[in-house]
Structure 1
Amino acid sequence: MDNVGVAELQHCVDAVLSFLEPYWSFVNCHMVNYLIDDHWAHMVPHPLRAELQAVDHVHQAIKTFFSQTARDSPQFPALAQFLETCERHCLAGFPQLLTSVEQLEQLLPVTMGTHLSIKEFMSAKKCHEVEQTAALINKLVQSTTSESSAECYIVDAGDGKGYLSSRLALQYGHRVLGIDAKKSNTENALARNSKLKRAWNGLTERAELQSQGITPPRRGKKLATKATPVNIPVQDNYKTTSRFITTELNLCDLLKEHFVQELKVVKPRICLTGLHTCGNLAATCLQVFHAQDICRVLCSVGCCYHLLRERYSQQEFYGNKALMEESTDYGFPLSRHLQQRGVCLGRNARMLAAQSIERTLSAKELPNITIFYRALLEILVCRRAPHLKNQLKVGKVHKFNNFIEYVQICAKKLGEPWLAAVGEAELVALLQQHDTDRHYLSLFYLLRMSFAPVLESVILLDRLLYLKELGYEHSYLIDLFDAVISPRHYAIVALKP
């Protein structure tokens, strides 16, 4: 497998940005303004609009969108070309930039056996993510310790409930320090780990039986065997601390503080990891990996792109401004190449980057009716309270049967008397007036979502390029999870020589 160089990465990310150039308004628009700003006429390319003149065309186009095999249908050539071009500018369209787990294993100087599938206390989604990530990190740590006498400690950034940390400590026996900005998270993670330790031997026995094709008994019932399995004492390898992670946070000092008895060397080796680290933390992990020499291995899976602190964007509006102001470094762009180009995405584009086109296609899922109702509500805002245009924060609305009930709930929730005073006749007329728009909005939503993996590609290629520019030749982009199960499925892996 050829290692990707800086020049090729620059060429690929430039190609993606070139494709996005005409569409920045499209990807940064807000669905709230779909009707009042006539997004269909102003955002959708003319060739697409020309072949979608009637509602029947829209319905058929949506079927074509959901049917992978029907995308080359001659009925909608502009739509087929649009979807094909989007797919070509996603990471999957640059296979030379991706490394599979199997390819990475071939590069590592260790051979690892298969891992048990242990069903612990978490959702099927989280179990899939933790299992795959823990197995990969174990291989990475084993590879670095095979080349050095120094033991490798794992630092889990954004530890949360300790799902990944517990697995690494209990199943693989690694010493793990979980770091999270919220003290309540670290306390809950320790409590969960304590419960898991008590159940661990039983969970392991069940997993071993299942791996042999044996159906284990229901929990609480003893398995009738000739030899009773010996319960192995579970080591206390998992510690937590509450800190806000920056490049100035000395990880070596933290390890010495929490592993007083275990730490035998002055400068331990660290594997820095994070599973679905929110916003800027994923970018910070890359910067910490570079800034602190004892960080020898990096395995980072990011998420929550809308919480990234952009260097050049002027349209930022954070709900958690206090937390964002703690981030001293910018999270995008990281690479010199994109900084020189002054690339900015915008908050709405980053929100879009975190959406899952794979899940939408798999479920053949149309947008929730609340998106259409919210767009209708904005028309009422412009009619009755124009000073509040783009100002109302409606949030999620539950338990309504129609548009009239939706508006009534919104009026009560927002405390806006003018909205409560809107008569049912006006609401019914508004709904009828825009009935056709409802169908076009659904297709617009799907077309816009097609950009999601393209935008994510820019963010992830920027991170990989950042590492390559700094000279970390052994840096990889791994497609780690099933994209339908786990939408944020790419991991950044880097190894220091």
Structure 2
Amino acid sequence: MSPSSYSLAEIQHKIDKVKQFLSIALRIANAHTVEFYTHNVWKQFVALPPEDVLSAVLRGSEQQGAPEFKRKDDSRSIFGFCPDTQRLVDAHELLRAATAHSLPGLGVCWSRDELLQTLREEKLESGAAGAEMGAELQPDEFMNSKKSHEVQSMSEVVACLAKCCGVRQVIDVGSGKGYLSSFLSLQYGLQVYGIDSSSINTHGAQERNRKLKKFSRSYQKRIKAVEAQREAEQSHQDTSEEEKVGFSGDGGVLCGAEGEIMSEETEKDFSDVSSARPNPETEEMFLSALSLDVIETMPPRISPTLLSAEERERRKKENLEKKALNRTDGTSAVFSPLTSYVTAETELRELISELEHAVMVGLHTCGDLAPSTLRMFVAKPELSAVCSVGCCYHLLTEEFDPAVQGCPDRLCGFPLSHYLHTHSWFCGRNARMSACLALERVSLGQGIQMESLFYRAVLHVILRDHYSAYKSEKRVGNVYSKATSFVDYVRRALRKLELDESKLSNSDVQEFHDRFRPRMNEMLAFNMLKVTLAPCIEGLILLDRLCYLKEQDVPVSALVQLFDPLLSPRCYAVVGLKMFGKQNCLS
């Protein structure tokens, strides 16, 4: 069955299967690594030697990747857990179950190519018009490989969604530094409104976009010049000797086949672009404009009340001229960064007075912003489509998590669907933290930084044994990165926690390290189990969002794998369309 044909009932059935598995396995994901030794976590949850678990994880399973996991009725375990003690007794069975209850194992996702093909077919049938491709930009010129991959992959999908819906406006929520927004406007000519809660981000994006416009003009002129040169060369081959370009004998001025005059400067420009080599000055400007780590400082803003009437009028006229230029200049990026904290209740038309019908997008929107994006899409008739890639699941608020007693003042991010809401389901913060782990990367050896976790867990033992206030301790923070040894780590941590470090000698501290070092394999094996469960927890969160769209009778709704998980672990998008074609959009 194609993922696109799953009904609401079938998605609910998939959710039930994942819930059944996680109701048993979630205990491992919710165990806190900090308490690993103080609570003897390994013996509490696992009845196997750590070497057996590590061996099972490294070897994988013969049935890994199978679409269905069928548990034998005569098995002495349920998904690898003993029904009596609830401890893990069969690592291979757990791994097979985890694979079967992930999104790939459940078979509920479209691939990016399948989505694009479907959108293009619908566009042809509906005759919808929308974004047009500009001169092709190469984002890897100004972004790292991860961001370049994400922006290129997602922007093509967003442009196709805009075409299918017959719209030219895009709202990018959580737009950050404006990479996706700028690329959508420059590459596809879309009118993009980037909304971010950080004024630093939006100010930086605005200045970066100004530089990008300059780069875009230069870039596209260079491309057009190269194309013109190629056409001229082709024409040169096809025309007679009398029509060839030659000297007119008029002071170094060249004449073209149609009699147009080209100066020596123009000839030099054509010579430069024919080699297709980037202008170093332009390239440097572009790279600096899109630096991942540097946001240029903005000049201090002067309050309008401190300006003279003439200056206020001059600035008003200048802003109107800039707006008019952006509307008429085809090479200008149509990108407007806005600063606002967005929730499901946000009135978009109050933020964007020119808003028409639009596609709402979010690239790695943190925590509750992803479900808020979907709630806005359902509630706002001006939103024709949505493409949302979430991240930072640990920042989600959960309505039924007893540890935080819900979120009484606002809508919670999980569960989003009525179906999971009626089951009062919650995951727990540690499980949501586990959902952020990257199985594909860990499988290739790009593993977890075990030493820092080990240091932190042994520190917790020291605090328990020697400091009565350890239960109410402050956060230790990133002490590990500055420490030169375990002893130095403990000293730095105690000072940060404002505890008396004179209680322990260096040899006392080292003794703790040496005592637990042989048990470090337990922590490694346990964290590998957490990594194995990560796709299942993420899958439930995303299925909840898909279920919500289907409950709202969104005509087209799907989960789509947009990115390569090795480059971008949060690779799944929730996509929804209300109607195809501008004439059919809800109004």
Q: Same fold (TM over 0.5)?
A: yes
Residue identity in the other structure for 2:334: N
Q: Does 2:519 match 1:422?
A: no
Picking from 206, 212, 217, the partner of 2:277 is 217
Picking from 98, 103, 116, the partner of 1:105 is 116
Give deviations 1:6-45, integer Å, cap 9, x for gaps: 111111111111101123332111100000101101122x
Structure 1 residue 219: Cα displacement: 4.6
Instruction: Find the counterpart in structure 2 of residue 229 from structure 1.
Output: none
Instruction: Find the counterpart in structure 2 of residue 139 from structure 1.
Output: 160
Structure 1 residue 314: Cα displacement: 2.2
- Larger-Rg structure: 2
Q: Does the 8 A contact of 2:483 with 2:489 survive in 1? A: yes
Structure 1 residue 317: Cα displacement: 10
Relative to structure 1, the CA distance from residue 222 to residue 479 in structure 2 (aligned partners, 3 Å threshold; closer, same or farther) is closer
How far apart, in 1, do the equivalents of 2:9 and 2:281 lie?
60
Structure 1 residue 481: Cα displacement: 0.3
1:467-486 alignment, distance < 5 Å? 467-486=549-568
How far apart, in 1, do the equivalents of 2:282 and 2:518 lie?
62
Instruction: Find the counterpart in structure 2 of residue 148 from structure 1.
Output: none
Q: Does the 8 A contact of 1:118 with 1:207 survive in 2? A: no
Instruction: Find the counterpart in structure 1 of residue 106 from structure 2.
Output: 94
Q: Does the 8 A contact of 1:362 with 1:484 survive in 2? A: no
Structure 1 residue 351: Cα displacement: 1.2
1:56-205 alignment, distance < 5 Å? 57=51, 61-62=53-54, 64-68=56-60, 78-95=90-107, 97-108=108-119, 109-110=122-123, 117-145=138-166, 151-201=167-217
Considering only aligned residues, what root-mean-square deviation do their CA atoms show, in Å? 3.0
Residue identity in the other structure for 1:101: R
Structure 1 residue 450: Cα displacement: 1.1
Structure 1 residue 124: Cα displacement: 1.3
Structure 1 residue 449: Cα displacement: 1.6
Instruction: Find the counterpart in structure 2 of residue 33 from structure 1.
Output: 35
Residue identity in the other structure for 1:9: I
Instruction: Find the counterpart in structure 2 of residue 226 from structure 1.
Output: none
Picking from 363, 367, 383, the partner of 1:279 is 367
Structure 1 residue 411: Cα displacement: 2.0
Instruction: Find the counterpart in structure 2 of residue 23 from structure 1.
Output: 25
Instruction: Find the counterpart in structure 2 of residue 389 from structure 1.
Output: 471
Structure 1 residue 413: Cα displacement: 2.6
Q: Which moved more, 1:81-90 or 1:161-170?
A: 81-90
Structure 1 residue 63: Cα displacement: 5.3
Q: Does the 8 A contact of 1:117 with 1:207 survive in 2? A: no
Q: Does the 8 A contact of 1:367 with 1:445 survive in 2? A: no
Residue identity in the other structure for 1:414: L
Instruction: Find the counterpart in structure 2 of residue 308 from structure 1.
Output: 396
Q: Does the 8 A contact of 1:157 with 1:273 survive in 2? A: yes
How far apart, in 1, do the equivalents of 2:363 and 2:5 lie?
25
Structure 1 residue 202: Cα displacement: 5.0
Relative to structure 1, the CA distance from residue 11 to residue 222 in structure 2 (aligned partners, 3 Å threshold; closer, same or farther) is closer
Q: Does the 8 A contact of 2:360 with 2:386 survive in 1? A: yes
Instruction: Find the counterpart in structure 2 of residue 234 from structure 1.
Output: 331
Picking from 560, 563, 575, the partner of 1:493 is 575
Instruction: Find the counterpart in structure 1 of residue 487 from structure 2.
Output: 404
TM-score under structure 2 length normalisation? 0.71
Relative to structure 1, the CA distance from residue 399 to residue 183 in structure 2 (aligned partners, 3 Å threshold; closer, same or farther) is closer
How far apart, in 2, do the equivalents of 1:27 and 1:234 lie?
51
Q: Does 2:346 match 1:249?
A: yes
Relative to structure 1, the CA distance from residue 462 to residue 420 in structure 2 (aligned partners, 3 Å threshold; closer, same or farther) is farther
| Partner SS for 1:275 | strand
Relative to structure 1, the CA distance from residue 421 to residue 121 in structure 2 (aligned partners, 3 Å threshold; closer, same or farther) is farther
Residue identity in the other structure for 2:460: E
Give deviations 1:258-280, integer Å, cap 9, x for gaps: x4xxx7xxxx2110111001110
User: What is the aligned-residue identity percentage?
Assistant: 32
| Partner SS for 1:274 | strand
How far apart, in 2, do the equivalents of 1:159 and 1:295 lie?
17
How far apart, in 1, do the equivalents of 2:151 and 2:144 lie?
10
Relative to structure 1, the CA distance from residue 306 to residue 182 in structure 2 (aligned partners, 3 Å threshold; closer, same or farther) is same
How far apart, in 2, do the equivalents of 1:155 and 1:36 lie?
48
Instruction: Find the counterpart in structure 2 of residue 355 from structure 1.
Output: 437
Residue identity in the other structure for 2:280: G
Relative to structure 1, the CA distance from residue 333 to residue 452 in structure 2 (aligned partners, 3 Å threshold; closer, same or farther) is same
Relative to structure 1, the CA distance from residue 217 to residue 435 in structure 2 (aligned partners, 3 Å threshold; closer, same or farther) is same
Relative to structure 1, the CA distance from residue 12 to residue 70 in structure 2 (aligned partners, 3 Å threshold; closer, same or farther) is closer
Residue identity in the other structure for 2:151: V
Q: Which moved more, 1:332-341 or 1:392-401?
A: 392-401
Relative to structure 1, the CA distance from residue 458 to residue 107 in structure 2 (aligned partners, 3 Å threshold; closer, same or farther) is same
Relative to structure 1, the CA distance from residue 410 to residue 490 in structure 2 (aligned partners, 3 Å threshold; closer, same or farther) is same
Q: Structure 1: any 5+ residue segments left out of the alignment?
A: 146-150, 224-231, 319-323
TM-score under structure 1 length normalisation? 0.84
How far apart, in 1, do the equivalents of 2:55 and 2:279 lie?
45
Q: Does the 8 A contact of 2:564 with 2:571 survive in 1? A: yes
Residue identity in the other structure for 1:171: Q
| Partner SS for 1:119 | helix
Instruction: Find the counterpart in structure 1 of residue 296 from structure 2.
Output: none
Q: Does the 8 A contact of 2:133 with 2:189 survive in 1? A: no
Q: Does 2:384 match 1:296?
A: yes
How far apart, in 2, do the equivalents of 1:124 and 1:330 lie?
34
Give deviations 1:53-83, integer Å, cap 9, x for gaps: 7xxx35xx535523557898xxx99322221
Relative to structure 1, the CA distance from residue 390 to residue 460 in structure 2 (aligned partners, 3 Å threshold; closer, same or farther) is farther
Q: Does the 8 A contact of 2:473 with 2:497 survive in 1? A: no
Structure 1 residue 167: Cα displacement: 0.6
Q: Does the 8 A contact of 2:11 with 2:543 survive in 1? A: yes
How far apart, in 1, do the equivalents of 2:172 and 2:444 lie?
32
Residue identity in the other structure for 2:123: V
Structure 1 residue 446: Cα displacement: 0.9
Give deviations 1:190-214, integer Å, cap 9, x for gaps: 01111222222455689999xx9x9
| Partner SS for 2:193 | strand
Moved over 4 A (4+): 67-72, 111-116, 201-209
Relative to structure 1, the CA distance from residue 435 to residue 247 in structure 2 (aligned partners, 3 Å threshold; closer, same or farther) is closer
How far apart, in 1, do the equivalents of 2:405 and 2:489 lie?
26
Picking from 29, 33, 45, the partner of 1:43 is 45
How far apart, in 2, do the equivalents of 1:142 and 1:157 lie?
20
